[in-house]
């Protein structure tokens, strides 16, 4: 074989120049790839790096834009009508190994048509990938071609794919405002929404863990002496936290055999609320039912004024300024003291 040779197939010219390492198709540089190995690896790599959904948009966009170049090229042949160009395109693609494309129901007035693709290279790649759903590179590619031919944006709808077990992939084409750019923007928004949802889930998980940790450590029951436990009230209290603390306290008081529960309000100076006042009232009432007397300590003038403004009556509790005074009082009730 000569270093330079050419062949004509179906009216189309193929050429080789081995000295320059060139292969040409209709006088233009072209390349050849094995479909079920090299091209499959190319597609697999795109999906692996960008993910399946992003890869679909990439291939669809690339297919459409390549097709647009082809359509505009044939449109530039002024002596060739859109109908004649359609026939030329199918022959061109068949000779280049793109599979058999049959154009049906071409309506130049409505600019609609159907394309039946059989044994295309994309179908063969999908088979090699063992996919159950076909790719849309060629579907979008022909949309680009006819967008160029009709000089109007044409989009597509796949009726079914050959890889699904049909004789051919059948695609409808029609004028539409749908574009690859819109799909790109939709994909970007989808990725952004997925990232936001991922962050929201992470925040929710971290918040739940943090709340659980706070519940565990924020209001401990501290046994200080026999029969006496201290509970410092810390932070702010809402309805949920008030309920949880009430349940936790009533569950743990019997374990300590506490006769006296000293509530230290020092940590509520800046966070005393109606919920906190209600919590104290409910704790005192519930503790009394199981034989535990509640004592309040750490009441500052500011807290005292807030309690008064809530209208909740805490006069039934023994109140002391400091924790030390409260402990001394509890001991004295049983004739004990600290020496």
Q: What is the DSSP string of 299-319?
A: --HHHHHHHHHHT---TTSEE
CATH architecture of the domain 33-178 equals 2-Layer Sandwich (3.30)
Confidence (pTM): 0.57
Residue 303: pLDDT over 80:
no
- Residue 175's nearest CA partner among 139, 145, 143 is 143
Query: How far apart are alpha carbons 199 and 187 in whole angstroms?
Result: 18
Complete edge-to-edge strand list for the sheet that includes strand 293-297: 222-225, 228-232, 260-264, 293-297, 318-320
Mean pLDDT score, 294-317? 80
CA distance 145 to 142: 5
Assign 101 a pLDDT band (cuts: 50, 70, 90).
very high
The architecture CATH gives domain 219-331: 2-Layer Sandwich (3.30)
Mean pLDDT confidence for 89-110: 89
pLDDT on residue 110? 94
pLDDT top residue among 30 and 314:
30
Q: In this model, does residue 226 exceed pLDDT 70?
A: yes
Whether 224 shows a pLDDT value over 80: the answer reads yes
- Give span(s): CATH 3.30.1380.20, the chain: 33-178
Q: What is the pLDDT of residue 339?
A: 66
The pLDDT, as a whole number, for residue 106 is: 92
> Does pLDDT of 13 surpass 70?
yes
pLDDT in tens, 242-275: 788 888 888 888 888 889 999 888 877 666 777 7
Q: Is the pLDDT of residue 331 over 60?
A: yes
pLDDT for position 216: 58
pLDDT for the residue numbered 112:
95
Give the strand order in the sheet containing 22-25.
Answer: 4-9, 12-17, 22-25, 28-30
What is the predicted pLDDT for the residue at 215? 60
Name the pLDDT band for 170 (thresholds 50, 70, 90): very high
Share of the chain above pLDDT 70, in %: 93
Lowest-confidence range among 13-22, 214-223, 230-239?
214-223
Residue 232 has pLDDT above 70, yes or no: yes
Q: What is the mean pLDDT of the chain?
A: 84
Is the model more confident about 112 or about 242?
A: 112
Alpha-carbon distance of 290 to 8, in angstroms, equals 102
Q: Which segments of the chain belong to CATH 3.30.750.24?
A: 219-331
Per-residue pLDDT tens for 45-81?
988 888 888 888 888 999 999 999 888 887 777 677 7
Instruction: Give the pLDDT of residue 163.
Output: 94
């Amino acid at each position: 074989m000569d270093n330079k040779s050419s062949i004509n197939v179906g009216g189309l010219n193929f050429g080789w120049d081995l000295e320059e390492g060139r292969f040409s198709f209709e006088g233009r540089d072209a390349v050849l790839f094995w479909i079920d190995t090299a091209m499959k690896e190319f597609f697999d790599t795109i999906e692996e790096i960008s993910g399946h959904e992003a890869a679909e948009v990439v291939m669809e966009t690339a297919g459409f834009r390549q097709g647009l170049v082809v359509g505009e090229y044939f449109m530039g042949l002024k002596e060739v009508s859109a109908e004649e160009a359609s026939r030329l395109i199918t022959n061109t693609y068949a000779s280049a190994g793109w599979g058999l494309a049959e154009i049906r129901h071409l309506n130049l007035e409505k600019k609609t048509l159907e394309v039946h693709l059989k044994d295309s290279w994309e179908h063969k790649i999908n088979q090699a990938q063992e996919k159950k759903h076909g790719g849309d590179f060629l579907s979008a590619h022909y949309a680009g071609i006819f967008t160029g031919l009709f000089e109007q944006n044409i989009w597509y709808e796949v009726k079914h794919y050959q890889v699904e077990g049909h004789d051919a992939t059948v695609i409808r084409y029609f004028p539409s405002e749908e574009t690859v750019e819109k799909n790109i923007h939709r994909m970007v928004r989808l990725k952004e929404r997925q990232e936001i949802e991922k962050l929201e889930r992470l925040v929710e998980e971290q918040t739940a863990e943090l709340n659980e940790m706070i519940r565990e450590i924020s209001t401990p029951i501290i046994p200080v002496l026999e029969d006496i436990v201290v509970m410092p009230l810390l932070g702010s209290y809402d309805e949920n936290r008030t309920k949880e603390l009430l349940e936790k306290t009533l569950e743990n008081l019997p374990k300590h055999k506490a006769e006296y529960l000293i509530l230290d309000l020092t940590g509520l100076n800046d966070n005393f609320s109606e919920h906190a006042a209600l919590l104290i009232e409910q704790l005192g009432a519930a503790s009394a039912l199981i034989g535990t007397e509640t004592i309040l300590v750490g009441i500052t003038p500011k807290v005292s004024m807030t309690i008064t403004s809530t209208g909740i009556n805490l006069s039934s509790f023994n109140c002391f300024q400091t924790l030390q005074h409260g402990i001394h009082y509890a001991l004295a009730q049983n004739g004990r003291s600290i020496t």
